[in-house]
Amino acid sequence: ALRDWMLEVRDTGFLPEAELHRRRGNDSPYDMAHDEARYPLRQILEAAELASMRGTGDEQRLVRLLSASDPAIRYWGVIGFAVRGSETAKRRLPELRRLLDDPNPSVQIAAAEFVGQYGNTEDLERAMDVLLEYGNLEKHGLFEALAALNAVDALGERARPFRKSIAALPARKKGIPRRLSNYVPRLLEHIADHWNELSNDSLP
C-alpha cells in the first residue's frame, strides 16, 4: 500500500537533493515529479528497493544499476553496495572507481564517499579530489557542496589529512537564500570541531 501511495503522489524522496534541483531546473518539484521523462519513478523506486534489500545473490543486479542511463539509478547502485558492508564493498571497488568520473555530480559524490571509505591511499586521494571539487561553493551549487561535505564528514579520520584543503573551502556565496546560507558554514565548523575533539582525546 505504501509503495502504491508513493507512486501515486510521485514521491521525490528517491532523488538526492542536488539531483532533485538539477532535474527541476526552474520548475517546481511537483511539476518535475509529474513529468515521467524527467522522473521515471517506478524504475528509480525499484533501484532503491534493491539497494536496501541486502539479499545474497543480488550483486550482479546492483552492478547493472551502476551503468543505467538514469543517474538516480546509478546513485542507488552505489548506495546498495555501501550498505552491504566492507567485504562486498572492497570486492566491488573496481566498478565504483569508474564512477568517480561519472558525468552526474550526485553519483560522483556518492562514489567518492564509497571509494574513500573502502579504497587504498590512492583511492582516497582521488575521492577527496572529487569531494573538494564539489565542496567548493564558488564553483558548484549549494546542494552539491552540502552532499560533498557530508561525505567528507562521513569519512571521518580518513579525510583528516586533507583538513587544510577543507578548511580553505569557501563557506559562503552570494545569491544563496538567507534561510540556507548557514548550512555550509555550520557543516565546515562541525567537521573541524570533530577533528579538534579527536586531537584533544589523544593528548596524554
CA-based nearest residue to 80, from 61, 67, 99? 61
Which residues lie closer than 8 Å to 24 by C-beta, 6 or more apart? 31, 32, 38
pLDDT at position 201: 59
Domain residue spans of the chain: 2-201
Report whether CATH 1.10.10 matches the domain 2-201.
Answer: no
Q: Output the nine-digit C-alpha cell for 5.
A: 501511495
The Cα 85–Cα 62 span in angstroms is 14
pLDDT at position 120: 96
Query: pTM for the whole thing?
Result: 0.92
- Walk along the chain (204 residues) and give the pLDDT tens digit of each residue: 677 767 877 988 899 999 999 999 999 999 999 999 999 999 999 999 999 987 656 889 999 999 999 999 999 999 999 998 888 888 999 999 999 999 999 999 999 999 999 999 999 999 999 999 999 999 999 999 999 999 999 999 999 999 999 999 999 999 999 999 999 999 999 999 988 876 665 544
Q: Output the nine-digit C-alpha cell for 134.
A: 564539489
